[in-house]
């Protein structure tokens, strides 16, 4: 059985993850509007991955006999100055999520909840990858600057990202 303090914190994290999904779906729509299909593909996959993250917490609360409570999801930003602006905002958001995950780990340690600590280890590792991917794309966008050909080449590269559904237990 999960304790109420952990249950409440994990329900808030479901909301953070669904907001992440919503933000990246908004960025995907904005990219499509700009004609950048590769960027749209990258953000759409990011949206799918964030929904998976939300569902990991959802399943975990249920598995531990807790109660999932879905909270209001705030409206994401819909206008962005440039592809670089989208990725800088993505990185800033992921840094916020990393802080949320670290705070949850601290809480699970404080509450002596070992099972939740194990669940959260997956997210600690995932956040390293998420921030790393964003940093890499930001570096490329900074090199590209105002070069339209460079942007189209990166768009082509981002179009190759493929969504891999999680296998059971992942
Ligand atoms: Fe983008 O990461 Fe979820 O947790």
CATH number of 18's domain: 1.20.1260.10
Q: 44 lies in a domain?
A: yes
Torsion sign (Cα): 120, 121, 126, 127: positive
pTM for the structure as a whole: 0.96
3-state SS string for 71-119: CCCCCCCCCCCCHHHHHHHHHHHHHHHHHHHHHHHHHHHHCCCHHHHHH
- Write out pLDDT tens, residues 54-83: 999 999 999 999 999 999 999 999 999 999
Distance of CA 153 to the CA centre of its chain: 25
Q: 91 lies in a domain?
A: yes
- Write out pLDDT tens, residues 139-155: 999 999 999 999 999 99
- Write out pLDDT tens, residues 2-41: 999 999 999 999 999 999 999 999 999 999 999 999 999 9
Q: Domain count for the chain, please give it.
A: 1
Q: 167 lies in a domain?
A: no
Measured from the CB, is residue 134 less than 6 Å from ligand 1? Answer: no
What is the rounded average pLDDT for all residues in the chain?
97
**How much is the pLDDT for 119?**
98
Q: Measured between alpha carbons, how far is 132 from 152 in angstroms, rounded to an integer?
A: 22
46 Cα nearest atom in ligand 1: 1
Measured from the CB, is residue 56 less than 6 Å from ligand 1? Answer: no
- Give 158 Cα–ligand 1 centroid separation in angstroms: 19
pLDDT class of 167 with cuts at 50, 70, 90: confident
Q: 164 lies in a domain?
A: no
> At CB < 8 A and 24+ separation, what contacts does 132-140 make?
134/87, 134/90, 134/91, 134/94, 135/91, 137/87, 138/84, 138/87, 138/88, 138/91
Residue 170 and residue 125 in contact, taking contact as beta carbons nearer than 8 Å: no
- Write out pLDDT tens, residues 39-61: 999 999 999 999 999 999 999 99
Tokens linked to 62 = 């249920």
Q: 115 lies in a domain?
A: yes
Q: 165 lies in a domain?
A: no
Which whole number is the average pLDDT over 95-116? 98
Q: Hunting for tokens 């004609």 — which residue is that?
A: 35
- Give 170 Cα–ligand 1 centroid separation in angstroms: 15
Q: 104 lies in a domain?
A: yes
Q: 85 lies in a domain?
A: yes
Burial label, 110 (beta-carbon count in 10 A; 0-12, 13-18, 19+): exposed
Range of the domain at 78: 4-158
């Amino acid at each position: 059985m999960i304790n109420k303090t952990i249950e409440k914190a994990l329900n808030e994290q479901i909301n953070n993850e669904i907001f992440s999904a919503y933000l990246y779906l908004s960025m995907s729509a904005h990219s499509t509007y700009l004609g950048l299909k590769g960027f749209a593909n990258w953000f759409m996959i990011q949206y799918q991955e964030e929904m998976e993250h939300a569902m990991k917490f959802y399943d975990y609360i249920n598995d531990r006999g807790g109660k999932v409570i879905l909270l209001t999801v705030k409206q994401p930003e819909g206008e962005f100055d440039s592809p670089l602006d989208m990725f800088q905002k993505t990185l800033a958001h992921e840094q916020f999520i990393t802080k949320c995950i670290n705070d949850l780990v601290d809480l699970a340690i404080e509450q002596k909840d070992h099972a939740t600590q194990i669940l959260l280890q997956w997210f600690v590792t995932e956040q390293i990858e998420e921030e790393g991917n964003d940093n890499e794309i930001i570096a490329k966008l900074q090199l590209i600057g105002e070069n339209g050909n460079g942007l189209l080449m990166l768009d082509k590269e981002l179009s190759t990202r493929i969504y891999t559904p999680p296998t059971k237990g992942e």
